[in-house]
Amino acid sequence: MKRGKMDFTSSTVYPPAEDSELLLETALKEVREDDEVLEVGVGSGFVAERIKEKCRFLLATDINPYACKVVKEKGIDVVRTDLVKGIRKKFTLILFNPPYLELDEVEKKGDWIEKAIDGGKGGIEVICRFLDLVREVLDERGRIILIISSFNVPHVFEEIERRGFMWKIVAKRYLFFEELYALKLESL
C-alpha cells in the first residue's frame, strides 16, 4: 500500500453489494451526456467512478469522512455532508442507494457501516429525510433513481407520493431474503 492511501476495509466504508450493482445498472441506462449528476451517499464510489465519464458533471456526497477520502482518491468530486445539505446546485439526475434496513438495538454498533445500512424505523426514515430535502437540488425536469427494499413496501410508496413524486419500478434484483427495486422518481 502506498503511503497516504487509505486502507479500504468494510469496517469504515460500505462495500459494493447487490444494491450497488442495481444502482449502477440502472444509472447506466438512465444517464445522458448532458446530465449533471449527484450521487448521494457515494460510499466506495463504485457507481460514481463508472458513470462520471458518461455525463457532463458529477458530484458525490457522503456523511462518512472515510468514504469521502476513498472517493476523492478516485478523482471524484465529493462533499462531506448529510444527504444534500449545503449543496446549492440543481441536478438533472440524482442517484441514491440509501440505508433501507431497520436494525435492532443489538445489531447497532455505532460505526460508519451502521450509518450506511440503518434506515431507521421501518427502514424509511433516511429515505423520508432525503425526499424532504431533494427538491432543493433537483432540476424541475430532473429524475431520481432510488434503491429500496421489499422490506420498505408499501410505506415507502406512500411517503414518495405524499411528497409529490411520481414513481415507477425500473429494475429489480431478487435476493434470497428480499427483493431490491430501482425506482425512478419525477416531480408531479
The pLDDT, as a whole number, for residue 10 is 56
What is the DSSP track for the chain?
--TT-----TTTSPPP-HHHHHHHHHHHHH--TT-EEEEES-TTSTTHHHHGGGSSEEEEEES-HHHHHHHHHTT--EEESSTTTT----EEEEEE----B---GGG---SHHHHHHB--GGG-HHHHHHHHHGGGTEEEEEEEEEEEEGGGTTHHHHHHHHTTEEEEEEEEEE-SS-EEEEEEEEE-
Residues 20-35 pLDDT 10s: 999 999 999 999 999 9
Provide the mean pLDDT of the chain.
92
Predicted confidence (pLDDT) at residue 11 exceeds the cutoff of 90: no
Task: Kindly report which listed range (5-9, 84-88, 106-110, 156-160) carries the lowest average pLDDT score.
Answer: 5-9
pTM above 0.85, yes or no: yes
- Better pLDDT: 6 or 38: 38
Residues 84-140 pLDDT 10s: 999 999 999 999 999 999 888 878 888 888 888 888 999 999 999 999 999 999 999
Q: What is the mean pLDDT of residues 141-164?
A: 96
Predicted confidence (pLDDT) at residue 5 exceeds the cutoff of 80: no
Predicted confidence (pLDDT) at residue 156 exceeds the cutoff of 60: yes
Domains, the chain, in order of start with CATH, read 21-187 (3.40.50.150)
